[in-house]
Amino acid sequence: MEMNHEMHNSGAAEHVHDKHAGHHTGDFKKKFIISLFLTVPLVILSSTIQGIFGYQLNFPGTEYVQLLLATALYFYCGLPFLKGAIAEIRDRAVGMMTLISVAITVAYFYSAATVFGFPGMDFFWELGTLISIMLLGHWLEMRSIMGASKALEALAELLPKKATKLVDGQQVEVAMNDIHPNDLLLVRANEKIPTDGVITEGNTHIDESMLTGESRPVKRGIGERVIGGSINGSGTVTVQVSGVGSDSYLQTVIDIVQKAQSAKSRTQNLADRAAKWLTYISLATGLITLIAWLALGQDLAFAIMMMVGVMVIACPHALGLAIPLVASNSISRVAANGVLIRNRTAFENSGKISAVVFDKTGTLTIGNFTVVNVQSFSDKYSNEQIIQYAVALEQFSEHPIATAIVAYGKQQAISLLPVTNFAALTAKGVQGTIDSYTVALLSPQAATAAGLKLPAGSATTARTTILLIVEQQLAGQIELADEIRPESKAAVTELQKQGIKVYMATGDNDTVAKSVSDELGLDGYFAELQPQQKLDVVHQLMQCGEYVAMVGDGVNDAPALAEASVGVAIGSGTEVANEAADIILINNNPQDVAKMIQWGKLTKRKMMQNLAWATVYNVVAIPIAAGILYPFILPPAVGAAIMSLSTIIVAINAQLLLRQIK
């Protein structure tokens, strides 16, 4: 497999119409309630229903009351379907909205014509029940899915609302709009960097992990660049602005995400694909029915009545519930198991995944520095004493490494030793007096520069190593790393057992990436990537024929999450990643990716079963409604009974899914 990015071994997207665009869950709920209220009297006043239950309820103007109720139903409650049909036809993506619109339009106008004297029987009650059930289905569908993506807004939220600008040596708080290139900004400890720039005064460590994927806080000093949205460490710095607006790093990421989201192919879901063909069948069969009966010598009124019957029956109530009921049950059950579905189509298609690309920092790893090894080099000191000395010195420092060591000491219930003569050694480490001994914590480079000979293998390059020096003698070392999640190995193994290739794409350096890849047994990895390059990796895998899931948690993952066939975000990650993804893992467990794929397969299988049941109704009812058994004509009451039975069957089958997802 050839790619622009080196992999280390151990086409134009189709636009598809969103049928729910412009609507809210509450819209469908409100219209469903109103539709139900209007349909009940239509059903009671229907001559067909009266004949079935053996009662009579007629009064002068009955038909006009029915027409009035049906008119409100069609033009108000049916409006979402009519608008959706127009959009589907405009986008050349005929689906469920078009099928429903054809059925209700034919039923309404034909029935209205019968009120004013056109020969035939009305379909008012069928119109009401069809609109009500379809509104219920779409309400269930929308309720089960989270709101539309807000990835771009979430990206913008990474920047602070205000910044401290230096004007003639004075500190002035200004809005972001008042920042211009070459302005000087004061960034205090633990504040967000307002925008891209270059440090002109001070030095610090900056956490860029959410933006670049680099797990270690990066040391930055005078003359070095900083990225807007990253988090300043313990030092106060002055930054000269170099990039604002469209020239900033964060805006570049926003542009990439926007481009990926607009181009990403959203395959029509199963119900829409079935509805597309039923629409064509409805129109074709209706036209053929009209022509055939006219050719056989029947009058126009009879031929039109038969045509209308076919086109109304072609839109079965069961189809409106077959998929939404399964989706609602599935999405609510997997949510209870820690998986939130934002894009139902992506979840339905998750069974097709052939390659999973994991981010490293915060996804396969925990995302924070952790002490992973303590080693004594002298019989004089135990491992516990090594960490005890280290904690005693680091308690005075705010450096991220110091924070990790102190946190580890608390976990191990290490007692604090008194320290005197504490001193921070710039760019080298820390030093102090403990138990009358001069004790220092130095980087391997600083220890070598001080003339100390390091034991072989003492500074593992895939980890951050700190050396403990007592009275100028090497006493031991502490190794820190971004610890691999305990579940990551099992997650990789489970996916590979399913025949799925597992890769890692990270902004971290090659040495760290290789170490993680080797430990987890990945099929390959990509290191030192920028956000655009992560997106390129996903895109190139897809061009090679893979159905790709991207799993990540950071801002730098957002473009790739938006581009992938299925984007999966770790719930503890950034809001940007969550909003760009199709699916969110609440429990931050990579093993849930394998479970998600299995649940997606179960859900799609159940949907196919329900579509089959819904289709049976059409296969039987449409030819009979067209008059293939003439002189026997399918009575509306029989058609209603078949329709109801089909709806009950798919509803029961949808409930069975709840037992399968555990």
Nearest to 205 by CA among 402, 8, 486: 402
Q: How far apart are CA 388 and CA 379, in angstroms?
A: 16
375 and 448 belong to one structural domain: yes
pLDDT of residue 149: 43
pLDDT computed for residue 385 by the predictor = 92
Assess contact for 496 and 593: CB atoms under 8 A: no
Alpha carbon 130 to chain centroid, angstroms: 32
Q: Is the pLDDT of residue 593 over 80?
A: yes
Asked if the peptide bond before residue 631 counts as cis, ω within 30 degrees of 0, the response is yes
pLDDT band at residue 238 using 50, 70 and 90 as cut-offs? very high
CATH at 187: 2.70.150.10
Position of tokens 């030093």? 431
Using the predicted structure, report yes or no on whether residue 7 has a pLDDT greater than 60.
Answer: no
Map residue 495 onto helix, strand or coil.
helix
DSSP label of 350: G
User: Do both 326 and 182 map to the same domain?
Assistant: no
- Give domain status of residue 149, yes or no: no
Residue 490 has pLDDT above 90, yes or no: yes
Segment among 73-77, 231-235, 409-413 with least mean pLDDT: 231-235
Model pLDDT, residue 524? 93
Residue 13 inside a domain? The answer is: no
Domain boundary among 448, 483, 518: 483
Q: Are residues 97 and 69 in the same domain?
A: yes
Total structural domains within the chain: 3
Chain segment 299-316, per-residue pLDDT in tens: 888 888 788 877 777 766
Are 30 and 139 found together in one domain?
yes
CA 134/CA 140 separation, integer angstroms: 10
Mean pLDDT computed over 447-464: 72
pLDDT band at 391 (very low <50, low <70, confident <90, very high): very high
The confidence score (pLDDT) of residue 634 equals 66
Structural domain that includes position 235:
160-194+196-243
DSSP annotation of 195 reads S
Say how far apart CA 97 and CA 314 lie, in whole Å: 13
Confidence band for 576, pLDDT divided at 50, 70 and 90: low
Query: Crossing angle, helix 96-115 and helix 317-336, to 10 degrees?
Result: 140
Last residue of a domain, one of 451, 483, 515: 483
The pLDDT value recorded for residue 6 is 47
Name the average pLDDT for the chain.
79
Residue range 371-393: mean pLDDT, rounded: 90
Sheet holding 170-175, edge to edge: 170-175, 162-167, 184-187, 237-243, 196-201, 225-226
Reference 43, options 106, 113, 127, 112; nearest CA is 127
Whether 260 has a pLDDT exceeding 60, the answer reads: no
In-domain check, residue 312: yes
pLDDT in tens, 392-405: 998 877 677 788 89
Question: Could you list the active site residues?
Answer: 359
Contact 325, 567 (CB under 8 A): no
Same-domain status, 109 and 44: yes
What is the per-residue pLDDT across 613-636, written as a single tens digit (0 to 9) for each?
Answer: 777 777 777 788 788 877 777 655
Any domain includes 153: no
User: What confidence tens digit (pLDDT) does each residue in 598-616 have?
Assistant: 988 888 888 888 888 777 7
Which CATH number goes with the domain that contains 391?
3.40.1110.10
If pLDDT is split at 50, 70 and 90, which confidence band does 12 have?
Answer: very low
Last residue of a domain, one of 483, 511, 539: 483
Asked, for residue 311, whether it belongs to a domain, the answer is yes
The single residue listed with the structure tokens 């569908």 is 141
Quick one: 383 and 479 in the same domain?
yes
Task: Give the integer Cα–Cα distance in Å for 135 and 28.
Answer: 6
Q: How far apart are CA 253 and CA 152, in angstroms?
A: 9
- 438 in Cβ contact with 470 (< 8 Å): yes
Q: Is residue 585 one of the residues assigned to a domain?
A: no
Cα–Cα distance for residue pair 547/560, rounded to 1 Å: 13
Please tell me the predicted confidence (pLDDT) of residue 531: 76
Cα→Cα distances 170→164, 167, 196, 660, Å: 10, 5, 21, 66
- Give the whole-angstrom CA distance, residue 359 versus residue 357: 7
- Give the DSSP letter string of 240-301: EEEE-GGGSHHHHHHHHHHHHHHH---PPPHHHHHHHHHHHHHHHHHHHHHHHHHHTT--HH
CB-based contact 391:430 (threshold 8 Å): no
pTM (two decimals): 0.61
One domain, residues 416 and 375: yes
Mean pLDDT score, 470-488: 88
Burial of residue 490 (number of CB atoms within 10 Å: 0-12, 13-18, 19+)? middle
What's the rounded Cα separation, in Å, for the pair 55 and 546? 62
| Sheet with 464-470: strands ordered across | 365-376, 473-484, 464-470, 437-442, 429-434, 420-425
Query: Are 60 and 110 contained in the same domain?
Result: yes
Indicate whether 467 and 610 sit together in one domain.
no
Q: Is the pLDDT of residue 11 over 50?
A: no
Tokens 């320290």, located at residue? 419
Given this model, what pLDDT does residue 541 score?
A: 94
Tokens of 22: 């412009």
Residue 584: predicted pLDDT: 81
Q: What are phi and psi of 544, to 5 degrees?
A: -85, 5
> What does the pLDDT read at residue 517?
92
Residues 531 and 416: their CA atoms lie apart, in Å, by 43
CA-CA distances (angstroms) from residue 606 to 7, 393, 603, 610?
A: 38, 61, 5, 6
CA distance 383 to 377: 9
- Confirm whether 380 is domain-assigned: yes
567 is a domain residue: no
Q: What is the pLDDT of residues 95-142, one digit of tens each?
A: 778 878 888 888 899 889 989 888 877 778 888 888 887 788 777 666
C-alpha to C-alpha distance for 91 and 530, rounded to whole angstroms: 35
CA dist 410 and 391 (Å) reads: 9
Rounded Cα–Cα distance for residues 515 and 65 (Å): 76
Phi, psi of 625 (to 5 degrees): -65, -30
Tens of pLDDT, residues 494-538: 999 999 999 999 877 787 888 889 999 999 999 888 778 888 999
Residues 239 and 287 in one domain: no
Q: What share of the chain is helix, strand, coil (3-state, %, to 5)?
A: 50, 20, 30
Burial class (CB in 10 A: 0-12, 13-18, 19+), 26: exposed
- 371 lies in the same domain as 326: no
Residue 269 shares a structural domain with residue 239? no
**Mean per-residue pLDDT, 43-48:** 84
Give one DSSP letter per residue of 13-50, joined into a string: PPP---TTTT--HHHHHHHHHHHHHHHHHHHHH-HHHH
Question: What is the rounded distance in angstroms from the CA atom of residue 279 to the CA atom of residue 274?
Answer: 9
Confidence of residue 656 (pLDDT cuts 50, 70, 90): confident
